[in-house]
Amino acid sequence: MQLITSALDLVQQHYIFPDTAAEIVAAVEARAAAGDYDGLDDETLAARVTEQFLATSGDRHLRLLVRAPDHRAATTEAEAEAAWADGQRLANHHIATVQRLDGNVGCIDLRGVASPGTAGTAIAAAMELVAHTGALIFDLRRNKGGDPEGVQLWHSYLFPDSDTHLNDIYDGETGSTRQFWTLAHVPGHRYLDRPVYVLTSAFTFSGGEEFAYNLKALRRATLIGEVTRGGAHPTARHPISATLEVAVPHARSINPVTGTNWEGTGVAPDIATPAAEAMTVAYRLALEHVLTTGTSQAVLAEAREALTAFSH
């Protein structure tokens, strides 16, 4: 069918591993010739083709997807980008909550990583609200990924200057490698000399994994929770109809500390615990830090009361 042909053409043109792309095309064409995709609705077709993509490549980013309803009118790249940006704005750039917990512990529930071109103001506002806390928790347990430049901005708040090399991305289409370093300037206060805890789950994916992996490699955060899903290949989405699009990885991450990435393996936490318990573990550690470093009697009283509540 034409939809399958269009999807496979895009895989062959753009996939980061050309040899694997040829294997994927052969496998899907064989199933199509056998009639495995005949008469399927969009959801079933997308799931079945994606299943074959994964079986051949092991790449969780390579997918046939049903397009979001709000994006179906977007037929050009500019329209798709505008629809995407509007969705990011309405989702508050994936910043679900920003809290000051008792004991002066900051907590940011981050469900994705938006582009700083649209989300920079929101990211700066979130970091300003936790700027004076004694410890900081990033909750990435429901983070499904996003923009490497967004990761770069978030991480720039956690280091003192522009001298920290965060990540590299090799683009297979251009043969070029882009380096990502912390930024020389961030709006507001940097978050330095205080502990950072990152919560992960088996759902955490892609840009959320980079967020965790970079900080673990640089020993800037303690990761608490579960091994993440394992997707390290930056991806572009290409519409093939009003209702379907194919997501094709065209690049791969190369961490400057480890020389590799988390593709297929996920990011392992420093403290392994079920995702549902990760917040409790992190909050306890943060409170213990506040109690050993804090000077405000009001904050110390809050921290003692919050820590005591764990034993009841």
| CATH 3.30.70.890 is the classification of domain 1-90+234-249 | no
Residue 88: pLDDT band by 50, 70, 90 thresholds?
Answer: confident
The two three-digit tokens of residue 85, written as one number:
């940006």
Phi, psi dihedral angles at 27 (to 5 degrees) = -65, -45
| pTM metric for this prediction | 0.93
Round to whole Å and give the CA distance between 24 and 15. 10
Cα 219 from Cα 237, distance rounded (Å): 33
pLDDT at 309: 87
- What share of the chain in percent tops pLDDT 90? 88
Band (pLDDT 50/70/90 cuts) for residue 77 is low
- 24 pLDDT higher than 90: yes
Query: Is it true that 1-90+234-249 and 93-231+266-309 share their CATH fold?
Result: no
| Domain residue spans of the chain | 1-90+234-249, 93-231+266-309
pLDDT tens digit sequence for 227-272:
999 999 999 999 998 899 999 999 999 999 999 999 999 999 999 9
pLDDT interval class at 72 (50, 70, 90): low
The larger pLDDT score, comparing residue 104 to residue 309, is at 104
Average pLDDT of the segment spanning 296-300: 96
Q: Characterize 84-107 residue by residue with b for buried, 16 or more Cβ atoms within 10 angstroms of its Cβ, and e for exposed.
A: bbeebeeeebbbeebeebbbbbbb
Fold of the 93-231+266-309 domain: 2-enoyl-CoA Hydratase; Chain A, domain 1 (3.90.226)
